[in-house]
A and B are shown apart, each in its own frame.
Chain A
Amino acid sequence: MASPGGQGGGALSTRGGGGAKRMKWALELSLGNTRSRGDRQGGQGDVVYPIGYSEKPVPDTSIQETDKNLVEKRCWDVALGPLKQIPMNLFIMYMSGNTISIFPIMMVCMMAWRPIQALMSMSATFKLLESSSQQWLQGLVYLIGNLLGSALAIYKCQSMGLLPTHSSDWLAFIDPPQRMEIMGGGMVL
């Protein structure tokens, strides 16, 4: 958390340091171990630390606890994301109607594609949730959310008539029946 300030100082000192090498003389006021700092900060120039500054971080347990809570919260956010999408999707579905035109089709495609994409990158999401203690629960919730999303998309397809669920959708694949008898004839010529 303190590094931006330090970096800024470092940057300033770099310029100073660069200049210092070319100076005829220099006065060093600090007694700190510039070498080790230089190592840590990528060989930057010397920085004058204020008095009372300690290089070793002071462990702060209270902050750690809230962090962990935050991570949990973030993880839950991730896990509940698909579920939260559903009301929005429902609204879009309602608004777009059941007519087959380019706009509703695009909507449906997006709605169907997003959960599928999410399900395909499940492992990445799990990695994200690794730090959480309720990893499995969250993963399950995430999965359910996505499944619900895709179910919703399928329902939309169904209500739009895009699913081949009727016998008429398979009509074109029925071959004409083979005739068993040969027949001919006509009026007596």
Chain B
Amino acid sequence: MVTVWLHDLMKKSNCIYCLSPFLFCRRQQYVGKVRFAHFDTHVQSSKKVVVATEKNVFAALNTRTGELFWRHVDKTGSEGNIDALLLQGADAVLVVGNGRLLRSWEVNIGGLNWEILLDSGSFQSACLVGQQDNVKYVAVLKKTVISLHYLSNGHQKWIENLPDSETVDYQAVYSGGNGEVYVLGVVPHSHIAVVVYSVDDGEILKQFSVEAAWLSNIQTSCAVVGKGMLTCVDSTTLSLYMLDLHTQLQMTQLPLQTLGLEVDPGFHPTLVSTQPNAARQPLSEFFLQLGPEHYVLLQLNNGQIVTLRDFKPAMLVSFATTGEKTVAAVMSPKNKTACGLNLFSADTGRRLLDTTLIFNMDPYGGKPETLYVQAFLKKDDSVGYRAIVQTEDHTLTFLQQPGRVMWTREEALSDVVTMEMVDLPLTGTQAELEGEFGKKADGLMSMVLKRLSSQFILLQAWVSHLWKLFYDARKPRSQVKNDVTIENLSRDEFNLQKMMVMVTASGKLFGIDSKTGTIVWKHYLDNIPSNAAFKLMVQRTTAHFPHPPQCTLLIKDKDTGLATLHVFNPIFGKKSHITPPALPQPILQSLLLPLMDQDYAKVLLLVDDQYKVSAFPSTKNVLQQLQEMASSIFFYLVDSSQGRLSGYRLRTDLSTELIWEVVIPPEIQRIVSVKGKRPNEHVHSQGRVMGDRSVLYKYLNPNLLAIVTESTDSHQERSFVGILLIDGVTGRIIHEAVQRKTKGPVHVVHSENWVVYEYWSTKSRRNEFSVIELYEGMELYNSTVFSSLDRPHAPQVLQQSYIFPSAISTLEATLTEKGITSRHLLIGLPSGGILSLPKMFLDPRRPEIVTEQSREENLIPYAPELPIRTEWYINYNQTISRVRGIYTAPSGLESTCLVVAYGLDIYQTRVYPSKQFDVLKDDYDYMLISSVLFALFFATMISKRLAEVKLLNRAWR
């Protein structure tokens, strides 16, 4: 270790390092999967696209760059759910929270025009209502009522109860701009009910019902086309049904066969219509989707359906309107990796010239899912267009003719589930040198030659590096490119640059360079179940050169319990050629052992529901090692639904035996989280120095688990939060604490010899932190080995609680290479800040009465309130929305810890809990120091010479 430190010191001395708070932190803002998107067209020069997403975010994107103009993040869950987005001029009307709120936003600057609270009732549909070419109102349909609001101020014009709302399921609202609002309801498998209201006073003008026994859902199978013709498609009878809403005649059935159309078997056909202006009637042209890749453009002409054009294959279609022209954009597959996008005139179905656009699909991405098209008139009156393609992996791609990708947004990153940081490989030359020693020796002479040649290569690389430095230094700083590509990815001097491997809920994996934040690789795993659980493990790091690094992602379908493994190279994202084992049994947990096979890959154990264990990789070597080690391999499983904690020991035949079990009655309390220690954590100091210079030794049990339970009774007098410290090998309960009159959510961090958790105190109505520290006492029981099976003495437990002035959304502790640096807690706040709170403040030994000894120990006197100092915010003014997790990783510098906060945004930075004690300051005066050194050196030389001359002269005298 001393040599390592010396080495570090040597490195440090020639390190030229520049520090600026904003240099190493980077924030990327995301919006989530787009649900509604509208191009802002009210001004010709506008370059905005307004999006509302499934993450309850409403934002405007710059169509030139893909950056955000503004963004509004609403509450999570159904309360902030955006039900509808209607764009009229510069106003965007949103229905939020299942019809709870109606909001109007100004699109240019993102300001709120007005917001009104709607009556309760579940939201069904909303539409803009116009009269005489003037859109003035918005109609909101709920389960039992319909209301009309002014667009200008949100005031309610009228509200009417719907007739027979108990029996009729009202689903859609439509207005053709003639002063009437049509409410369409359905009694499933019986009839359609239509109620017509007058826009002016909400009076029921007409009310009728039409027989439609086949219909169950209007919104999925019907559309209004032309002059108020309700058109529906039925998949069982394979026919179109049409109903004129004005004349309210019988529904006419038109079998698709008479039109010469055929529906793909098992496909539910749908209709796509367009109403370019809310004050006018919809167009009489519409698309009918007959199969996954089959669309037909139809026209309603005097009650007759005319087929304008058959599109097969066609993946996506969309209408776009500019001025008086409406075009249909059709995306059709071209070959395996590219799609073609073409414009067709909507009223004739003719293809427009020069409108082909090629969309190259990412081979590691998903299939296109939705198409948003913005059409515009060129100077020569022809139609040009831009398109946003949303793919299955939540990527937005903005395309311009003739197929230029202006930008892409990886919205999957708004939902990171888990991540790891992997060291980058050494540079090619360094790797070559390492490889030389990795291989087996074949003769002395050839080894010497190899050595010489690799040294020569190193020298060459160094010279070229120097030359590049010199060359770059002459250029202005802004021009120096620091693009990161796979070719120039290499570890830096202090291992500060790493590869962030992120797993997102959509099943897309990302490799992001931690220094610049550029996405180096991405890989979309299709057929990921929607409720999958992920566990990412690094099986082999970059340290074993000729073998590539290897990560394994365990994907488990929570419904079936079946799991799959995805093995990949974390640096390049490529799927490994190693075939993961097939897992026919449901998998309960996995366990990464510190054992390695002959290729330096750590062994992964998978525990199935029969409590049998399978190993990956499972070579002979591994199985042999496992047999030798089996008696010292333990694992624990926590089943929160049954409240059962159980510990198992591995047998040599890879079966297991139950060795302990703890049952926490699930009807009283449920287990919310289990935290062990991080395997890569190092603790430098084995104890704490007291004021009298004796040592209080820490209880550093690597097998300790912290289990948090919450009471099922949520009454504020009876609710409680419990914490259980249990040894994972023996099942021995080390400590138990219950906080009465408190409730979750509990955030917990477990590290070294302490556990910090946070909860809400219902009694005092505040957030509280509690810290538990464990000590062995003044004597170490066994200083050389730690075995949970041989621990006769229970540790001393100290606990203290504090008031924290804010709610928190996530909690994590910093981590450094050797564990010398003091620890800080990183607290993600709902306000979007990340606070770095010194662990020193959460120390159960903080005394109430200050003594000489406690002062000697540098203990802060106890104060119930924990302060929040503004300089503790590590993200300054860069708010991070909805922080869900913080990941910390050590760097090569002991003082530095790499931090990634993820949630809706991703933020990466570095923290220095004990300041940068191992790095020279950036204002370090190299010039002065070196010149003084040189001057002194020369002065010594000269005076030495002079002294010699003088001595000689004296000898002569």
Mark A residues whose CB is within 8 Å of B: 161, 166-169, 171-172, 174-189
Contacts and interface: CB of A to CB of B under 8 A. Distances in A.
Contacts of A186: 589, 636-638, 674, 676
B635 A183 contact: yes
A179 B786 contact: yes
A184 B789 CA distance: 16
Interface string B768-783: 0000000000001011
B634 to A, nearest CB: 5
A176 B683 contact: yes
Given A178-B785, A181-B729, A186-B674, A171 B685 contact: yes
28 contacts: A168-B695, A171-B689, A172-B685, A174-B686, A177-B784, A178-B785, A179-B702, A179-B787, A180-B785, A180-B788, A180-B789, A181-B787, A182-B633, A183-B635, A183-B636, A183-B702, A183-B728, A184-B592, A185-B591, A185-B607, A185-B635, A185-B636, A186-B637, A187-B638, A188-B589, A188-B638, A188-B639, A189-B587
Given A161-B693, A174-B783, A187-B674, 13 more contacts: A167-B694, A167-B695, A176-B686, A177-B783, A177-B784, A181-B632, A181-B729, A182-B633, A183-B636, A184-B592, A184-B605, A184-B676, A188-B640
Nearest to B696: A168
**Which of B595, B607, B671: most chain A CB closer than 10 A?**
B607
A179 to B, nearest CB: 5
Given A176-B700, A183-B702, A187-B674, A168 B554 contact: no
A176 B682 contact: yes
Contacts of A185: 589, 591, 607, 635-638, 728
Contact of B634 (A175, A181, A188, A189): A181
B942 interface: no
Given A161-B693, A168-B694, A177-B784, A182 B674 contact: no
A127 B285 CA distance: 124
B687 A171 contact: yes
A187 B674 CA distance: 7
Contacts of B593: 182, 184
A189 B418 CA distance: 14
B932 interface: no
Contacts, number: 119
Contacts of A177: 700, 782-786
Nearest to B781: A177
Contacts of A176: 682-683, 686, 700
Contact of B786 (A161, A169, A180, A182): A180
A189 B685 CA distance: 35
Given A167-B694, A171-B687, A183-B728, A188 B588 contact: yes
Nearest to A184: B591
Q: Which 8 A-B residue pairs are closest in the complex by CB-CB distance? A: A184-B591, A180-B787, A166-B693, A185-B635, A168-B689, A185-B636, A177-B786, A189-B533
Q: Is the interface of B mostly helix, strand, loop or mixed?
A: strand
Nearest to A174: B686
A181 B732 CA distance: 15
Interface string B786-813: 1111000000000000000000000000
A178 B784 contact: yes
B594 interface: yes
B690 interface: yes
Contacts of A189: 533, 535, 554, 556, 558, 563, 587-590
Contact of A182 (B558, B563, B632): B632
B480 to A, nearest CB: 43
Contacts of A166: 693-695
B565 to A, nearest CB: 13
Contacts of A168: 687, 689-690, 693-695
A20 B554 CA distance: 119
A170 to B, nearest CB: 9
A161 B607 CA distance: 55
A189 B532 CA distance: 9
B629 interface: yes
A179 B588 contact: no
Interface string B670-690: 010110100000111111011
B638 A183 contact: no
A165 to B, nearest CB: 9
Contact of B632 (A171, A174, A180): A180
B703 A183 contact: yes
A166 B637 CA distance: 43
A186 B675 CA distance: 8
A135 B909 CA distance: 75
Contacts of B789: 180-181
A175 B590 CA distance: 30
Nearest to B703: A183
A161 B695 CA distance: 15
A77 B638 CA distance: 83
B635 A184 contact: yes
A182 B639 contact: no
A66 to B, nearest CB: 43
A174 B684 CA distance: 9
A160 to B, nearest CB: 12
Contacts of A174: 686-687, 780, 783
A183 B634 contact: yes
Contacts of B535: 189
Nearest to B534: A189
Contacts of A169: 693
Given A181-B787, A182-B632, A187 B640 contact: yes
Interface in B380-418: none
A181 B788 contact: yes
Interface in B138-168: none
Interface string B688-729: 011001110000101100000000000000000000000011
Given A166-B693, A189-B535, A178 B786 contact: yes
A183 B782 contact: no
Contacts of B591: 184-185
A176 B820 CA distance: 13
A182 B554 CA distance: 21
A188 B533 CA distance: 10
A176 B640 CA distance: 34
A167 B632 CA distance: 33
A185 B634 CA distance: 9
Contacts of A188: 588-589, 637-640
A189 B595 CA distance: 23
Contacts of A182: 593-595, 629, 632-634
A181 B782 CA distance: 15
Contacts of B687: 168, 171, 174
A15 to B, nearest CB: 23
B174 to A, nearest CB: 47
A172 B558 CA distance: 47
A180 B729 CA distance: 11
Contacts of A180: 632, 785-789
Nearest to B556: A189
A136 to B, nearest CB: 43
Contact of A179 (B629, B640, B682, B785): B785
Contacts of B693: 161, 166, 168-169
A118 to B, nearest CB: 32
B604 to A, nearest CB: 10
A187 to B, nearest CB: 5
Interface string B455-498: 00000000000000000000000000000000000000000000
A105 to B, nearest CB: 19
Nearest to B788: A181
Contacts of B785: 177-180
B417 to A, nearest CB: 12
A171 B686 CA distance: 7
A181 B703 contact: yes
A183 B729 contact: yes
Nearest to B635: A185
Contacts of B588: 188-189
Contacts of B703: 179, 181, 183
